[in-house]
Amino acid sequence: MKFTVAIDGPAAAGKGTISRLIAARFGFAHLDTGLLYRAVGAKVAEGAEAIEAAQSLSESDLARDDLRSLEAGQAASKVAAIPEVRRALLEFQRRFARAEGGAVLDGRDIGTVICPEADVKLFVTASAEVRAHRRWLEVGGDEAQVLAEVRERDERDMNRADAPLRPAEDAVIIDTSDLSIDEAADRACAEVLRHRG
């Protein structure tokens, strides 16, 4: 059975957590597509050329332990604005989405570009302040600086020429600003159940 769940949204909105919970509950494979861009960004930071880094991405690149840092997130946002990088990673993501047994993909353009025919499309969001606080709890540092970086990243992701961050027209929007993880996951799982029958 092929069944695709596409989850989009800005940084630290909770889409990764929700995606993993959906995958675990329904036995679907899960791909955090942001890791692809973080891995490319990390390779670029080490001196690689962005397009070549995207074309040669390997499983070991995705297993690096430094991909969740703020620096990796900023690097990911920068390389994700390069159309040739996006094209290089497009087919990898589409193959994953068509896997037997179902798949959940989360990122910035899954429902709009990668899997416009997904069975379920969710757009998970929260206010910039809430997302910055969550990220600050995760990585520490100066909370005001984290908020500035979240807003900078939002601006870049939403206004890039190629595949800007926005909800698909038929996406269900889940604002997690005032929801617990369980409440947000329950809403998302209810959508999956509604479409699976």
With a CB cutoff of 8 Å and minimum separation 6, the contacts of 167 are 8, 111, 112, 121, 123, 173
d(CA 33, CA 150): 18
CATH number at residue 82: 3.40.50.300
- Residues 47-86 have pLDDT tens digits of 999 999 999 988 789 889 999 887 888 888 899 889 999 8
- Residues 137-153 have pLDDT tens digits of 988 999 999 999 999 98
Number of domains in the chain: 1
**Structural domain of 111:** 4-196
* 149, 139 contact by CB (below 8 A): no
What is the pTM for the complete model shown?
0.85
